[in-house]
Structure 1
Amino acid sequence: MNINQKSVDALRILSADQIQKANSGHPGLPLGAAPAAYELWAKHMNHNPKNPNWENRDRFVLSAGHGSALLYSLLHLFNYEGMTIDELKNFRQFGHLTPGHPEYGHTVGVESTTGPLGAGVSTAVGMAMAEAHLAAKFNKEGYPVVDHYTYAMTGDGCLMEGISYEALSLAGTLKLDKLIVLYDSNNITIEGDTDFAFTEDVAKRFDAFGFQVQTVEDGNDLETIGKAIENAKAEKNKPSLIICKTLIGYGSPAKVGKASAHGEPLGVDNVKEMREFLGWESQEAFEVPADVYANYESIANEGSKKEEEWNAMFERYSKEFPEARKEWDEFFSDIDIDKIMNSDEYWNYEDKAMATRAVSGNIINILKDLYPNMVGGSADLAPSNKTEMKDEGFFSATDRSGRNIHFGVREMAMTAITNGIYLHGGLKSFCATFFVFSDFMKPMIRLAALMGLPVAYVLTHDSIGVGEDGPTHEPVEQLAMLRSIPNLNVFRPADYTETAVAWASAMKSEAKPTAIVLTRQNLPQIEGSSKDAFKGAYVISEAKDKDNIDLIILASGSEVELAVAAQKEIETTGKSVRVVSVPCMEIFESQDSQYKESVLPSGVRARLAVEAANPMPWYKYVGIDGDVVGMTTFGASAPAKVLFEHFGFTTENVVEKAMNLINR
């Protein structure tokens, strides 16, 4: 047996052994797709295990994340940091580097968290866009300092999910010629043959997208797979799809081609039979011949040489173009938040009523000058979301330098792509749509939170203030939904200062995404609004007798104005009322107990929260003695003023609720 075939079979054996020892996992893809993975990683993909974060490495995303045992086997054999044989032996066990699905930031060599099908390949589109934009920005004649490919390995399930349609359609439109998708086509899903639910001609679909499409009839044919990859790299006008016809569970005579190979261990006897079928010389689990390790080490050393060559070129580039090198370092460094904090333009505003979406638009156009690596766009709503960066052009098939992105009506893919742009490195990304459509974004926002990506999601038209468009477009439960996601900051600012704080917080965030939820309607600038909003909640209007508070009113966004108006009316009766603005519950929860007590003294149990949304998140603050003026039904189609009155968001109703609490 030649060394290449032994190296392929090592991936199969190690994957099967991991899954069998854990008695949990998905052997089907690793066994069938091992040849394509080996051919790519060994012969065509530039990567350096000694420096996994080399800027010009090729990116690889295992979109079919259930096949994680294959990726861990690759990382082990190439000797990526931490991926020891003991880690493989602890596949899917607590506290180890080999979780059931690959996790970015947890395992070295994993470029993106994957698992939800279609998410990975969609994220890869963002990585390819980032590569193209940075190449346009930094490359000089003779100095291709940004010149790499993004590879995604996907399966039938990924291509059934709607998000992949969205993302890959855009990839074709943008002619992302350095995106190469390897499709493990084995015609099997958990329930059986794909013909039950998936009979479309995938090749024709991708041809319609604008992809180069190739088919490898035998997924075990390394030479043909290699030629297809090189053909894809030679294509300079289209992204590429390589359809690899494989047999799920190949190598296991008892399981090959069966649905049971997809998501359950092969069984001890079948693993033994697989070793015999493949001609594997050892029956010991996790035992790999020395010549296989030596082969992978030799390939890894070639990767090191590739980086050394790039480093030498980059040094010459830096000497010849010192300003470009300075800007490069700025792009690939952490955000300097002092640029915001020390900017008079950023914090100064005109004292007039403005929708917070309009405020955000002004801020974005200050930020884009402070941070030239900021890129983003909207799901066909930039004029409404106010997210266009003026005079910065649009990223397209003919202009890679544009910093604005036309995502089209593709909210879920937009979010995954935005995540991918950040994951690539070098760029700070954001995206936008109407708040009600965060329902479409939620799975990818969740992944960003899981990965700790400091991306920003701009969500406008935040309440029944949408008005005449009616309940389909009026978000009611979405704030509660987003606030339920761990590691996500959700800002709903009340005016200019709080919106500026929201954006500053999003820019300086290092390990979590931020949702910035903004109004359609104009709001006044509130007298007590301040940078204390950085603490998540603060006293925006103090009680006339702060040592003897009768009631605390809590509110966010457009309802802070209403809370202050109610406070003034209640205090004419001699009662003492504090108003607390809560632009970001998550940040407030991170404050120490002393600060939280200073804002919401535990001795004041008469508390009223006001927010034009589902009341659920507020009960932890108002307690059993408090009350919430919120939305417990869907909205309606009518002018915003009519709706706010109908649903009780009036000074009169808030005052009545407040007095009931005080008098209780």
Structure 2
Amino acid sequence: MNGTAEQHAIAVARALVMDAVQQAGNGHPGAAISLAPTAYALWTHTLRFDPDHPDWPNRDRFVLSNGHASALLYSVLHLTGYDLGMGDLKQLRQFGSRTPAHPEYRLTVGVDTTTGPLGQGVATAVGMAIGERYLEQQFAGYPGLVDFRTWSIVGDGCLEEGLSSEACSLAGHLGLGKLNVIYDDNEISIDGETNLAFSEDVRERFESYGWQVLEVADGNDGEALRASFDVAKAEVQRPSLIIVRTAIAYGAPKLQGSAATHGSPLGAEEIRGAKQFYGLDPDQDFAVSDEDYQQWRAAVDSHRAEYQDWLEIERQMLDGGRKDAAMWQRLRDQSTPDGALDAVRQAGAALSGDYPVRQMSGFVLQTVADRFSEVIGGSADLTGPTNSQIDGAEVFTREHAGRQIHFGIREHVMAAAGNGLALLGLRPFVATFLAFSDYQRPAIRLAALMGLPTTFVLTHDAITATGDGPTHQPVEQLISLRAMPNINVWRPGTGAEVGAAWASALEQAVTPTALCLSRSTVLAEVGSDKADDAARGGYVLSEAAAGKPEAVIIATGSEIGISLEAQRMLAEQGVNARVVSLPCWEVFEQQDVAYKDGVLPGGIPRVSVEAGSALGWCRYVAPNGSSVAIDTFGACGQGDDVMAHFGFTAANVADHVLTALR
């Protein structure tokens, strides 16, 4: 690096990484050490941020996609003035600390997204870049209000994960010129040199995606790093990849270039040698001088001035545009327009006629889109089948940032990009078939972990997706989603429940929602007067005909119809059965005990009816009930034939109730 003060500041960052990982007793120092010059060039020359206002909406976003190098990010945040003290660095990877093993959104100031599962970070960054384009266009009347870049560092592991191919292909197609990705090309993985399994030409790969590709031959060359960042910023039509050649654990006398440094502390002797190589005192740990802080914070005052200038732009917008100001406030605090949630609920309850549940959702989505300009999304090449088209919406293209996104057949990046949109305060929805939620699961899990209100629209939710056979028929997906913490899984079966599900998704601030929607037709008018009850996640859909119920049938989604028919059949035999609709377990469990006991009284048998796995239903039907469910894979055939084969008939439901009563 040029200049001894600069070299010393970078060396201090490397030493903080080594010391923190050594004290923790475990961690990933290698990449973090070698990337210190890249981080220095980025934070002191290129990145726009204000450590005093870490939530500044117009700050540049930074995503450490190779999140195992977290010790570098924490050290840089500390050195550049964020509220992250030396004590936090000393608590790296410890229980309850603000410096966990991988960066966690909401936990650590300055962390823009949770990363760790490789490839997720860069895919989320693509969503951030999409969101920036959309918001910049929405607030075009106030130049400079939204005008930021998204920077991401990736490693070999990120590029090996298939998700990065989806993400970077989409980014190139959409011409996301404000997305810049730095590739740490150190040729080392956990098992050894990357050529054990990775030998592609990364430059040609990204050029084929439509990216600008730049190269820095020496990751210690500060001038070359800064120059490449400037060239990347100047390109506005294409995303940019900057390939930076580094040596893992640079400066370690015996371990530089070794795979052993990827995931293990260097050891005291090696750290002493590295510090001597850097020109540091080997007897000092966690040592930073005032001059080093000044070097790292050289650009902070100018960023603070930029923040103050930006506040004036925001003030003009808030004073001059009532509609814009209202949307802006909702983006900031995750609020909803006055009366919007009631309108969404009523849009569902007002549906008349017989419609497939997925089509009811499409109708409600129009009301959602009319009321929420921050709602943006689309599907993985399934816009028609998932009813995820916003009527009249413009498409997001290279030339125009519309709110209807065609993600192509890229379910995984669609979900991760949805999270990137949510991180900007937008209200994203992403749609595919429920069976293909398996492709999305890592991103859904991160949405739940980060507390993002992403809405996952998942149609064709049962073996009623008969025409396509068992490959497209979800069985275990419902319960697998319900097993995940902090996600509301809705399986509505009436118009009122569809409206309640969408309203619930939109009122969440820190919880994602999965809307599992059937292609089967359900009587829309059933339960149309129960919109308020449906919003509670579970309710009495049809009371026993003659007084106190002797049994309870609990149904979700498309199985409501056969459950109501079973209730009628039982009544003809003198058995009083109540039908309870339970579209969302998680919301139902949030109700008070008295309400839940009123809906599901104890002491009488309960039978659940759902065209999915029986796993989990024991919480509602034990000890004296049973489940009409499917615990095998489905089959191809006509809908009624397949459903009957697996026992989803009114007669079989009634038999289960009678057996439980014996």
Could you say which TM-score interval applies, normalised by the shorter chain? over 0.9
The 5 Å alignment of 1:6-155 reads 6-81=8-83, 83-140=84-141, 143-155=143-155
The 5 Å alignment of 1:182-197 reads 182-197=182-197
Residue of structure 2 equivalent to 1:406? 406
Question: Is the contact made by 2:380 and 2:431 (CA closer than 8 Å) also made in structure 1?
Answer: yes
Residue of structure 2 equivalent to 1:418? 418
The alignment-based identity, stated in percent, is 43
The 5 Å alignment of 1:429-440 reads 429-440=428-439
Residue of structure 2 equivalent to 1:632? 631
Alignment root-mean-square deviation, CA: 1.6
Offset of residue 284 of structure 1: 2.1
Question: Is the contact made by 1:189 and 1:259 (CA closer than 8 Å) also made in structure 2?
Answer: yes
Residue of structure 2 equivalent to 1:489? 488
1:382 aligns with 2:383: yes
Q: Distance in 1 between matches of 2:622 and 2:450?
A: 33
Secondary structure of the residue that 1:633 maps to in structure 2? coil
Offset of residue 144 of structure 1: 2.7
Q: Name the amino acid aligned to 1:280.
A: L
1:210 aligns with 2:210: yes
Question: Is the contact made by 1:488 and 1:514 (CA closer than 8 Å) also made in structure 2?
Answer: yes
Residue of structure 1 equivalent to 2:641? 642
Residue of structure 2 equivalent to 1:369? 370
Residue of structure 2 equivalent to 1:474? 473
Residue of structure 2 equivalent to 1:254? 254
Q: Distance in 2 between matches of 1:346 and 1:265?
A: 58
Secondary structure of the residue that 1:377 maps to in structure 2? strand
Q: Name the amino acid aligned to 2:421.
A: I
* Mean Cα deviation higher: 45-54 or 336-345: 336-345
Q: Distance in 2 between matches of 1:381 and 1:323?
A: 32
When normalised by structure 1's length, the TM-score is 0.96
Q: Distance in 2 between matches of 1:119 and 1:342?
A: 35
Secondary structure of the residue that 2:489 maps to in structure 1? strand
1:396 aligns with 2:400: no
Residue of structure 1 equivalent to 2:569? 569
Aligned pair in 2 of structure 1 residues 152, 546: CA closer, same or farther (>3 Å)?
farther
Secondary structure of the residue that 2:552 maps to in structure 1? strand
Question: Is the contact made by 1:11 and 1:30 (CA closer than 8 Å) also made in structure 2?
Answer: no
Q: Distance in 1 between matches of 2:341 and 2:170?
A: 37
Question: Is the contact made by 1:78 and 1:296 (CA closer than 8 Å) also made in structure 2?
Answer: yes
Q: Distance in 1 between matches of 2:384 and 2:26?
A: 49
Q: Name the amino acid aligned to 1:466.
A: A
Q: Name the amino acid aligned to 1:192.
A: G
The 5 Å alignment of 1:286-365 reads 286-316=286-316, 324-336=324-336, 338-343=338-343, 346-365=347-366
- Deviation track 1:268-299 (CA, whole Å, cap 9, x = no partner) reads 11111111111113622212112112333443
Aligned pair in 2 of structure 1 residues 472, 301: CA closer, same or farther (>3 Å)?
same
Q: Distance in 1 between matches of 2:464 and 2:24?
A: 53
Question: Is the contact made by 2:29 and 2:265 (CA closer than 8 Å) also made in structure 1?
Answer: yes
Q: Distance in 2 between matches of 1:88 and 1:326?
A: 40
- Deviation track 1:426-452 (CA, whole Å, cap 9, x = no partner) reads x21110001110010111000000000
* Mean Cα deviation higher: 578-587 or 405-414: 578-587
Residue of structure 1 equivalent to 2:502? 503
Question: Is the contact made by 1:63 and 1:154 (CA closer than 8 Å) also made in structure 2?
Answer: yes
Aligned pair in 2 of structure 1 residues 571, 321: CA closer, same or farther (>3 Å)?
closer
Aligned pair in 2 of structure 1 residues 503, 327: CA closer, same or farther (>3 Å)?
closer
The 5 Å alignment of 1:455-604 reads 455-525=454-524, 527-528=526-527, 530=530, 531-547=532-548, 549-604=549-604
Offset of residue 329 of structure 1: 3.2
Question: Is the contact made by 2:44 and 2:297 (CA closer than 8 Å) also made in structure 1?
Answer: no
Aligned pair in 2 of structure 1 residues 546, 5: CA closer, same or farther (>3 Å)?
farther
Offset of residue 130 of structure 1: 0.6
Secondary structure of the residue that 2:446 maps to in structure 1? helix
Q: Distance in 2 between matches of 1:236 and 1:296?
A: 28
Q: Distance in 2 between matches of 1:465 and 1:236?
A: 47
1:428 aligns with 2:427: yes
Aligned pair in 2 of structure 1 residues 492, 7: CA closer, same or farther (>3 Å)?
same
Q: Distance in 2 between matches of 1:35 and 1:546?
A: 76
Residue of structure 1 equivalent to 2:620? 621
Secondary structure of the residue that 2:616 maps to in structure 1? helix
Q: Distance in 1 between matches of 2:406 and 2:11?
A: 44
Secondary structure of the residue that 1:586 maps to in structure 2? helix
Q: Name the amino acid aligned to 1:193.
A: E
Question: Is the contact made by 1:125 and 1:417 (CA closer than 8 Å) also made in structure 2?
Answer: yes
Q: Distance in 2 between matches of 1:316 and 1:566?
A: 62
* Mean Cα deviation higher: 186-195 or 335-344: 335-344
Offset of residue 338 of structure 1: 4.1
Aligned pair in 2 of structure 1 residues 627, 313: CA closer, same or farther (>3 Å)?
closer
Q: Distance in 2 between matches of 1:205 and 1:235?
A: 19
When normalised by structure 2's length, the TM-score is 0.97
Offset of residue 583 of structure 1: 0.2
Question: Is the contact made by 1:459 and 1:517 (CA closer than 8 Å) also made in structure 2?
Answer: yes
Offset of residue 326 of structure 1: 4.6
- Deviation track 1:134-155 (CA, whole Å, cap 9, x = no partner) reads 11121238x2321110000000
Q: Distance in 2 between matches of 1:371 and 1:653?
A: 44
Question: Is the contact made by 1:477 and 1:614 (CA closer than 8 Å) also made in structure 2?
Answer: yes
Offset of residue 320 of structure 1: 5.9
Question: Is the contact made by 2:494 and 2:527 (CA closer than 8 Å) also made in structure 1?
Answer: no
Offset of residue 258 of structure 1: 0.5
Secondary structure of the residue that 1:632 maps to in structure 2? coil
Residue of structure 2 equivalent to 1:284? 284
Residue of structure 1 equivalent to 2:442? 443
Q: Name the amino acid aligned to 2:640.
A: K
Question: Is the contact made by 1:474 and 1:635 (CA closer than 8 Å) also made in structure 2?
Answer: yes
Q: Distance in 1 between matches of 2:175 and 2:395?
A: 14
Aligned pair in 2 of structure 1 residues 512, 626: CA closer, same or farther (>3 Å)?
same
Offset of residue 565 of structure 1: 1.1
Offset of residue 424 of structure 1: 2.2
- Deviation track 1:592-641 (CA, whole Å, cap 9, x = no partner) reads 2222211222222x111110001102011111321111011111110111
Offset of residue 335 of structure 1: 2.9
* Mean Cα deviation higher: 470-479 or 312-321: 312-321
Q: Distance in 2 between matches of 1:316 and 1:443?
A: 41
Question: Is the contact made by 1:412 and 1:440 (CA closer than 8 Å) also made in structure 2?
Answer: yes
Offset of residue 331 of structure 1: 4.1
Q: Name the amino acid aligned to 1:461.
A: H
Question: Is the contact made by 2:349 and 2:499 (CA closer than 8 Å) also made in structure 1?
Answer: no
Aligned pair in 2 of structure 1 residues 11, 532: CA closer, same or farther (>3 Å)?
same
- Segments of structure 1 that go 5 or more residues without pairing to the other structure are none
Count of aligned positions: 657
Secondary structure of the residue that 2:262 maps to in structure 1? helix
Offset of residue 544 of structure 1: 3.3
Q: Name the amino acid aligned to 1:440.
A: Y
Question: Is the contact made by 1:337 and 1:508 (CA closer than 8 Å) also made in structure 2?
Answer: no
Q: Name the amino acid aligned to 1:365.
A: Q
Offset of residue 318 of structure 1: 5.0
Q: Distance in 2 between matches of 1:3 and 1:308?
A: 29
Offset of residue 321 of structure 1: 5.3
Q: Distance in 1 between matches of 2:524 and 2:487?
A: 26
Question: Is the contact made by 2:129 and 2:179 (CA closer than 8 Å) also made in structure 1?
Answer: yes
- Segments of structure 2 that go 5 or more residues without pairing to the other structure are none
Residue of structure 2 equivalent to 1:223? 223
Q: Distance in 2 between matches of 1:111 and 1:436?
A: 30
Question: Is the contact made by 1:501 and 1:533 (CA closer than 8 Å) also made in structure 2?
Answer: yes
